C-alpha cells in the first residue's frame, strides 16, 4: 500500500517538482540531484509527508533546502563561478532559457514565491505556510517578482514618430 501510494505520487509530481526546482537553481543536473534527494527523504518519511497539505511543495522545499546545505558544505572546496551558461544548464524544453535567466536575477525569496505560486500552483495561504512567511508577504513578493519579470521579458513596440 505505502509503496504503491508513493509511486503514484512520484509519477504524478516528479516532472512538476523538477521544473520548479530547476527554476529555483538554474542548473539541470543539480536540480535532478536535489529532486532525487528530496524524493528519497519523502520515501523515508512518507508516513508524515503524505499528510502534508501540499506534498509536492514539501519536495520542492526540501530540494531547495538541501541545495543550501550542500552549498554550505562545499563553499570552501569549490570556487564559485559568477557566470551561468543557462542554455547548457537547462536542457529542458519545458523551460525557456530566457525565462530561467530572468528568474535567476530575482532575489531568492521572490524566486521561491514564483516557484510555489506559479510552478506548483499553490494558493497564497499554502505558499505562506510552506515558506514560513505571512500571506501578505507572499502577495508582495509575487507582485514585485511579476513586475520585474515583466520588465525583463515583455518588450513593447513603440511606433516610430512621424510614421
- At the topology level, CATH places domain 2-153 in Butyryl-CoA Dehydrogenase, subunit A; domain 3 (1.20.140)
Residues 98-136 pLDDT 10s: 888 888 889 989 998 998 898 888 899 988 988 889 999
Overall pTM > 0.85: no
In the three-class reduction of DSSP (H, G, I as helix; E, B as strand; rest coil), residue 63 is classed as helix
CA pair distance 74, 77, nearest whole angstrom? 5
Residues 50-61 pLDDT 10s: 999 899 999 999
Residue keyed to cell 506548483: 120
- Pair 27, 89: CB distance under 8 Å: yes
Amino acid at each position: 500500500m505505502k509503496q504503491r501510494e508513493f509511486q503514484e505520487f512520484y509519477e504524478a509530481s516528479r516532472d512538476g517538482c523538477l521544473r520548479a526546482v530547476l527554476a529555483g537553481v538554474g542548473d539541470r543536473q543539480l536540480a535532478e540531484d536535489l529532486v532525487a534527494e528530496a524524493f528519497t527523504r519523502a520515501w523515508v518519511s512518507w508516513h508524515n509527508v503524505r499528510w502534508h497539505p501540499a506534498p509536492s511543495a514539501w519536495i520542492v522545499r526540501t530540494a531547495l533546502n538541501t541545495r543550501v546545505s550542500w552549498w554550505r558544505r562545499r563553499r570552501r572546496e569549490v570556487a564559485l563561478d559568477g557566470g551561468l551558461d543557462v542554455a547548457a544548464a537547462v536542457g529542458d524544453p519545458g523551460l525557456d532559457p530566457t525565462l530561467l535567466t530572468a528568474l535567476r536575477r530575482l532575489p531568492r525569496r521572490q524566486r521561491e514565491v514564483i516557484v510555489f505560486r506559479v510552478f506548483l500552483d499553490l494558493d497564497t495561504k499554502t505558499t505562506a505556510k510552506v515558506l514560513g512567511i505571512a500571506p501578505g508577504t507572499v502577495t508582495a513578493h509575487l507582485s514585485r517578482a511579476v513586475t520585474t519579470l515583466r520588465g525583463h521579458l515583455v518588450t513593447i513596440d513603440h511606433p516610430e514618430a512621424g510614421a
